[in-house]
Structures are given as structure tokens and as C-alpha cells.
Amino acid sequence: MYLRTWLVLLMFISSYKAGAIDLTQQIRAADNVVQGRVMSKSSEWVDGKIVTRHRILVRDDLVASTYGIAGKSELYIVQAGGSAMHPTLNVMISQSISHQVKLNVADEAIFFTRNTVSGTQQLVSGTDSVLRLSGIGTDKVTLPALKQLKVVPSHKIDVQAQQPSVAKSSKAVLQQEALTLPNAKKRIWQLIKQTRVKGEKGNV
């Protein structure tokens, strides 16, 4: 009984700890945290540089839903770079920014963004500002970038697939798996309440 309680407790602690530091940093820096889908993208020349505008259909405004208020239905993420016809050379030119997250049409993700003076959005920074979703359309949507631990009975373990770091016991072991979307949202809601003052940022 004691072992089982310890394993379950450890599982929840680890699922919260997985990605918690990055999530906290992103939430503190963000004006908006949304689950959404990239519906379209278009690029154009602005002041001698290519700028790409992405229209995001917001499925869940996580900051707004944390406080039970109406959220955004869509937002526009603008990034430097892309491919567009040069206005004078009349040839297609591509520009790319190193270490910038590339967004494609149909990408489903949780986005961490900042408001711009023009009313559009910019990603906070780094790859952690876009947490892509896997398994859309199935009964188990996950975020592969975030991990949690699960308890698996020892007789169901594939010995060859085991990782050296797996904690063993006579009855069960702990294995890593991708964090599910519902669990990720619970974690994000919790962190939003812990790290942000109501009314401080975004649409709250």
C-alpha cells in the first residue's frame, strides 16, 4: 500500500515538473496563451524585409478560460521572414531567421504570444512558445514536447524497450509518456493563476 501511494504521488509530481520551468517562463512573458490552429499564412515586403502573417483560429483562450470570461476567437501571429515576390525585381525571394519557429497551415498547437502595437501577435521566444499537438481527431490528444510519468504493471513492460532510467519495483514501474492535452491545460491554468495577477495582462 505504501509503495503504491509513493508511486502515484511521484507520478503526479513528475507530470507537473515536466516542462514546468519553461511553461512558467512562457506564461510570465506572454499576453496571450491559446490553443489554436494555423488557418492561413501570407507573406509581403515591409520596409525592405519579408513579413509573414499567420491567422490562428483560437479553439481555447487559456488565459480567458482560467477566469471564466470571453476569450479571443482568432488572432494573427506576425513573424519576420518567409517567401514573397520582390516588388521591383519581380522574382520570388525567401528570407529565413535562424532559431525561429516555423508555422505551417494546419499546425495545431498551444501558442504563447505578446501583443504588438499594431494589434497583431508575436511569439514569446524560442521553440517553447509553440507546443504542437499530436493525435488531433483521436480520443487522446497529446503534447509530445511535454512528458509525464505513468505507472505500468511490470508484466506489461517490454524489456527491450525499457529505458535505463525507468524506476523498477516488484509490482510496477514508471515510464514516461507524452502529456495529454487535458492535463497540460490543467497545468497551464494552474500556472496562470500562480504567476499572473488578474487583469495584469492580455484580455483578462
Return the top range by mean pLDDT from 17-26, 35-44, 139-148: 35-44
Burial 64-95 (b: 16+ CB within 10 A, else e): bbbeeeebbeebbbbbebbebeeeeeeeeeee
What confidence tier does 173 reach under pLDDT thresholds 50, 70, 90?
A: confident
Model confidence at 21, in pLDDT bands (50, 70, 90)?
very low
Which of the 8 DSSP states describes residue 181? H
The grid coordinates listed for 54 are 499567420
What average pLDDT does the chain have?
81
More confident residue, 91 or 10: 91
100 pLDDT band (50/70/90 cuts)? confident
Where are the chain's structural domains?
2-195
Is the pLDDT score of 178 beyond 70? yes
Q: What pTM did the predictor assign?
A: 0.78
Residue 189, pLDDT > 90, answer yes
